[in-house]
Chains A and B, each alone.
Chain A
């Protein structure tokens, strides 16, 4: 019936695993088996779509300013802020969505990986909400949630695909064979890519957070000015390593600029040495080269037609640009979320929870937070 509103699921998502207190409302009509429409029977749920998936609201109370002076996230400060912001974030998400608590049919929250004290705030909030409203609760893996950010804006997207999840805490290459069915193909052996961005930004005097700062500084810079090392590791490896690159940049800066005096930047430029923009662009190029190369190889190796990006670093303009070029050259379709859905947010948590709930999954109210949770 036209105009009739079906609210099979209206999920409140909550995310507090690091330094963003976030709440979101996502609704949809449940899952549909797309096999009929495709004209082929399917034994798996890979043809499944979520019709009518609508993001009604997404509120992110960022703590970036709070942590900036420390050059990184301080766990106790983050946890305290989450307690202050959790009710305002939930309340704003409901208002923005123009729904009342009575409309919420389920609650989803991040249970890991992340900072355990921070996760526990959102997880406790979600459990209390489920208890009070007597609705189902589902715990969600944060990395899975990043991947699922792609389903919010790409209704046609369906597994299998390969996804690069790249942020301040993660650098994971994941093969999503089917909904809820993952193969961890590779991960960083040391620093996450976003962590390398933060540390190099600090060395370059660009401030925190480093990702957007380097992205901006690199504009107009020559990405080939300095050939920084790329760690591809052994043949066929999908793992990453960024600590060598980070050290190379820091050493270069010390040598070229003398100690860490960034005020010599102008002089460095004048004497023909790499400018700040060149350095930022060269570093960024080295990171992006490795990410793009391995992601493309992984997609080709798994014979998938689609690659996805996710996580805060997926908002990086150079990564998007280079990945788009390589994907096109390799005959792959590329998807990535809007920048606001790349960084930590509860919409992606609600989305990952939505798919699990629609498959009939529920979590018990004693579900623990797991700081180093693997994809399962």
Chain B
């Protein structure tokens, strides 16, 4: 199965082509708005480099968020139209799952992985994973929370906190870098911060996870694929913007 993986949901973004388990091509860069707009160009280049044409694809994988609203919309819209025009199944991938999947077999002795994606102010999008095998197993709900609360919730005294004797938590994602100081302040010895090379979702990982979704028969179509904004509903958003004067401010970048 030939799958194109697309990610524009966070501060890194890119495209990958996989054929079965093989990564045929992968491009990733720190994203600005202008290079998320050039995503179609990257797709075109990778396809040409691989000697594929768009109709050769068997599926599309895409990160649906949470992350940058505008970024998510660019990726999801591209995936919808590619899926529609090429009549392909689409494998949606939650961005947090994709980041956690960068760290397979990392939970040997009860370790947890906690991706943090920067949202507004001190908020992060997060979930907790046990990654003892090749794929992450999520053990919490997806949530948007204050970063300090997230870190504190792992303290061994807290309800649901870690067992000091056998558990550790690894924070990854751009939120871990942005809020490093808060994490170090609030954390105790059982906390680690992942290195920079595993902070963002990798397009090839997105393609692999999306392929699993498609193969398990849970693919979305161009019509029902939805962004996963997580957090304020659009109505709440609107009231917030209306209060602050509405106008034509760019929301959610």
Contact = CB atoms under 8 A, between A and B. Distances in A.
Interface residues of B, number: 45
A123 B84 CA distance: 16
A131 B251 contact: no
Given A79-B251, A101-B85, A121 B238 contact: no
A86 B222 CA distance: 10
A87 B251 contact: no
Interface in A293-309: none
Interface in B18-47: 33-34, 37-41, 43-44
B111 interface: no
Contacts of B81: 86-87, 90, 124-125, 128-129, 132
A86 B227 CA distance: 13
B189 interface: no
Interface string A73-110: 11111011111101110110000000001000000000
Interface stretch (A32-40, A211-219, A313-321, A365-373): A365-373
A132 B222 CA distance: 13
A24 to B, nearest CB: 16
A86 B85 CA distance: 13
Interface stretch (A112-120, A230-238, A248-256): A112-120
B139 interface: no
B192 interface: no
Interface stretch (B72-80, B119-127, B168-176): B72-80
B187 interface: no
Among B40, B69, B237, B251, max chain A CB count under 10 A is at: B40
Given A70-B246, A76-B237, A90-B84, A366 B37 contact: yes
B54 A365 contact: no
B215 interface: no
Nearest to A88: B223
B40 A124 contact: yes
A371 B33 CA distance: 13
Given A87-B223, A91-B84, A127-B78, A79 B39 contact: no
Contact of A77 (B39, B78, B85, B238): B238
B57 to A, nearest CB: 9
Contacts of A91: 84
A121 B75 CA distance: 9
A205 interface: no
Nearest to B45: A365
A103 to B, nearest CB: 13
Contact of A125 (B33, B53, B80, B237): B80
Contacts of A76: 69, 234, 237-238, 241, 251-252
Contacts of B234: 76-77, 80-81
A134 interface: yes
A130 interface: yes
A75 B223 contact: no
Nearest to B227: A83
Interface in A57-80: 70-77, 79-80
Main DSSP-derived SS at the A contact region: helix
Interface size class of A (residues with CB under 8 A): 35 or more
B160 to A, nearest CB: 33
A120 B235 CA distance: 21
A83 B242 contact: no
A70 B44 contact: no
B54 A132 contact: yes
Nearest to A368: B37
Contact of A120 (B74, B80, B229, B247): B74
A364 interface: yes
A123 B40 CA distance: 10
Contacts of A371: 250
Interface in B82-136: 82, 84-86
Given A127-B40, A365-B41, A75 B249 contact: yes
A91 B85 CA distance: 10
Contact of A70 (B86, B238, B251, B252): B238
Contact of A74 (B69, B77, B238): B238
B71 to A, nearest CB: 9
Contact of B41 (A73, A80, A90, A366): A366
Given A76-B237, A120-B73, A365 B80 contact: no
B17 to A, nearest CB: 13
A74 B251 CA distance: 9
A326 interface: no
Nearest to B38: A366
Contact of B222 (A87, A120, A121): A87
Contacts of B184: none
Among A73, A75, A82, A367, max chain B CB count under 10 A is at: A75
Contact of A128 (B40, B246, B247, B249): B40
A164 to B, nearest CB: 22
A71 B38 CA distance: 34
A371 B82 CA distance: 25
A74 B246 contact: yes
Interface of A: 70-77, 79-84, 86-88, 90-91, 101, 115-117, 120-121, 123-125, 127-134, 364-369, 371
8 contacts: A70-B238, A70-B246, A75-B241, A79-B73, A90-B81, A125-B80, A131-B54, A133-B54
| Ranked 4 nearest A-B pairs via Cβ | A366-B38, A76-B251, A132-B85, A127-B40
Interface of B: 33-34, 37-41, 43-44, 53-55, 69-70, 73-74, 76-82, 84-86, 222-223, 226-227, 229, 234-235, 237-238, 241-242, 246-253
Given A74-B242, A131-B54, 6 more contacts: A70-B242, A74-B241, A77-B237, A80-B234, A87-B222, A364-B41
